[in-house]
C-alpha cells in the first residue's frame, strides 16, 4: 500500500482542515431536530436580493455554456461602482479564491507570510500549502496589532494578510493607522486587506467612524490588494463570488494562476444583479445594526463580556470553556461557532440573525446556562 501521507507536500502534511460552521442538514440528521437556527457562518439572514435570485434563475437556463471566463460584465459593474479600472479587478470563486491567488503568485518556500493571532483560518492553510513560513503576530485587545506586525517584518516577508474587520473577533483598524502601516512597508511586501465585512463595517450605525476607504489607496500603494465578497452582506455565500482590487500588474499575475472558469455563469449574473439592489443592501445593514444591538444588550444584561464588533457577528466570552455550551446549544437546535481553534476557548462567535432568530438563540442560551 502506498503511503500517501509520505507522498504529500511537506506543508500539506502539517495542515489541519478548515472547520466550517455545522450545516443545518447535518444537525437535522444527527439529532432529528427541525426548525434549526444557524448563526454560525456569518450568512445574511435576509438572504440575497430577490433580483439576484431572478438573475440566477435566468442564467441557469444556459448552463450548457461555459461562463465568460473574463467576467466582463461583472467587472464593468464593479469598476463603475468602486471607481477603479476593470484591469485592477480579479474575480474569485468566493474571495477566499483570490486570497489564495495572491499567495500562489508571490509566495515561495523561502518566504514568510504574516497575519495576526485570532485571525481567519484560511491564511495559515494557504501559507503552509506553499511550504512557506507562517508568522502569527500577537493580537492586541483581540485585534490586529500593527506595531507587532511592523516589528515582525524581515527580508523574507512577502505577504501580509489583514482582515478588516477581523474574523472571528470583529475588531477593526482605523484609516490613519492602517494607511501609515502600508505606507511604511517595503514595497516588496504585499498587503492583502481582506474586507469580507466591508459593507457592515462602513455602515454608520456600526460606529466605526474612521473605517478606511481602501479603494482610494490602491492607486497610491501598488503593493496593496483589497479583497471583498458577495458571500456576506450580499447573501450569496452558496454561489461563491468574490473579487480583489489591486495594481493592474498584480491583477494580471493573479489571473495567470486563476482557473479560467472559476466563477460560474449563475454566480456572475446573480452578483451583478445584487450589486444593483441598493434597497436590499440597506435593509440587510439595518437589520444587522438592530440585531447587533439586541445581542450585545442581552449579553450585557447577563453579565457576559463580548468583543465589540463592526461585522455581522460577535464573540461572547462565556467565562468558561465554551465547547460544552456549543454542544448544549446544538441540542437546543441552535448552531453557533466555537472558536477554540482560533485560540479563543472561552468564546462563542454568534452571527447576527433576524430578531426572531436572535431571540431563539438567547432563549437557548438561557436554558443551557441554567442547566
Q: Which residues bind ligand PLP (CB under 6 A)?
A: 42, 94-96, 120, 163, 167, 194, 196, 229, 231-232, 237, 242
Chain centroid to CA 262? 18
Neighbours of 32 (CB within 10 A): 7
The contacts of residue 100 (CB under 8 Å, 6+ apart) are 122, 126
Minimum gap (Å) between residue 366 Cβ and ligand PLP: 28
**352 vs 294: CA distance, rounded Å:** 9
Nearer to ligand PLP, 229 or 262 (CB): 229
Minimum gap (Å) between residue 153 Cβ and ligand PLP: 22
**By the 8 A CB rule, do 20 and 41 touch?**
yes
CB-nearest residue to ligand PLP: 94
Nearer to ligand PLP, 196 or 364 (CB): 196
Q: How far is CA 281 from CA 195, 232, 277, 345, 351, in A?
A: 16, 11, 7, 34, 17
- Residue 314 — φ and ψ, nearest 5°? -150, 140
Minimum gap (Å) between residue 100 Cβ and ligand PLP: 10
**181 vs 271: CA distance, rounded Å:** 32
The H-or-E segment that residue 298 falls in is helix 278-301
Nearer to ligand PLP, 280 or 337 (CB): 337
Minimum gap (Å) between residue 229 Cβ and ligand PLP: 3
Helix pair angle (122-129, 95-106), 10° resolution = 30
Nearer to ligand PLP, 171 or 332 (CB): 171
Nearer to ligand PLP, 240 or 364 (CB): 240
Nearer to ligand PLP, 237 or 328 (CB): 237
Minimum gap (Å) between residue 311 Cβ and ligand PLP: 8
Amino acid at each position: 500500500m502506498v503511503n500517501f501521507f509520505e507522498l504529500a507536500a511537506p506543508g500539506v502534511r502539517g495542515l489541519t482542515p478548515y472547520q466550517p460552521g455545522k450545516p443545518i442538514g447535518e444537525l437535522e440528521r444527527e439529532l432529528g431536530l427541525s426548525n434549526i437556527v444557524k448563526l454560525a457562518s456569518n450568512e445574511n439572514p435576509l438572504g440575497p436580493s430577490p433580483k439576484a435570485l431572478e438573475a440566477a434563475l435566468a442564467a441557469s437556463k444556459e448552463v450548457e455554456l461555459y461562463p465568460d471566463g473574463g467576467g466582463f460584465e461583472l467587472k464593468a459593474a464593479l469598476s463603475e461602482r468602486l471607481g477603479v479600472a476593470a484591469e485592477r479587478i480579479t474575480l474569485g470563486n468566493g474571495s477566499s479564491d483570490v486570497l489564495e491567488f495572491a499567495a500562489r503568485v508571490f509566495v515561495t518556500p523561502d518566504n514568510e507570510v504574516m497575519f495576526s493571532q485570532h485571525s481567519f483560518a484560511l491564511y495559515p492553510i494557504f501559507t503552509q500549502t506553499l511550504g512557506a513560513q507562517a508568522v502569527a503576530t500577537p493580537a492586541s485587545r483581540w485585534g490586529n496589532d500593527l506595531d507587532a506586525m511592523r516589528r515582525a517584518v524581515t527580508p523574507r516577508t512577502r505577504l501580509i494578510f489583514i482582515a478588516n474587520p477581523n474574523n472571528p473577533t470583529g475588531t477593526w483598524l482605523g484609516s490613519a493607522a492602517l494607511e501609515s502601516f502600508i505606507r511604511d512597508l517595503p514595497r516588496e511586501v504585499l498587503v492583502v486587506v481582506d474586507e469580507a465585512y466591508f459593507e457592515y463595517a462602513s455602515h454608520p450605525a456600526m460606529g466605526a467612524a474612521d473605517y478606511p476607504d481602501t479603494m482610494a489607496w490602491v492607486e497610491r500603494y501598488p503593493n496593496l490588494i483589497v479583497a471583498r465578497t458577495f458571500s456576506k452582506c450580499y447573501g450569496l455565500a452558496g454561489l461563491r463570488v468574490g473579487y480583489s482590487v489591486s495594481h493592474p500588474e498584480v491583477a494580471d499575475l493573479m489571473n495567470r494562476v486563476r482557473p479560467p472558469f472559476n466563477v460560474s455563469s449563475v454566480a456572475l449574473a446573480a452578483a451583478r444583479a445584487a450589486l444593483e439592489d441598493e434597497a436590499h443592501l440597506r435593509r440587510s445593514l439595518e437589520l444587522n445594526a438592530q440585531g447587533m444591538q439586541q445581542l450585545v444588550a442581552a449579553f450585557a444584561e447577563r453579565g457576559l463580556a463580548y468583543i465589540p464588533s463592526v461585522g455581522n457577528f460577535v464573540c461572547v466570552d462565556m467565562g468558561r470553556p465554551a465547547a460544552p455550551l456549543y454542544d448544549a446549544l446544538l441540542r437546543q437546535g441552535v448552531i453557533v461557532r466555537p472558536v477554540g481553534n482560533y485560540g479563543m476557548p472561552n468564546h462563542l462567535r454568534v452571527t447576527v440573525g433576524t430578531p426572531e432568530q436572535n431571540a431563539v438563540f438567547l432563549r437557548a442560551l438561557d436554558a443551557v446556562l441554567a442547566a
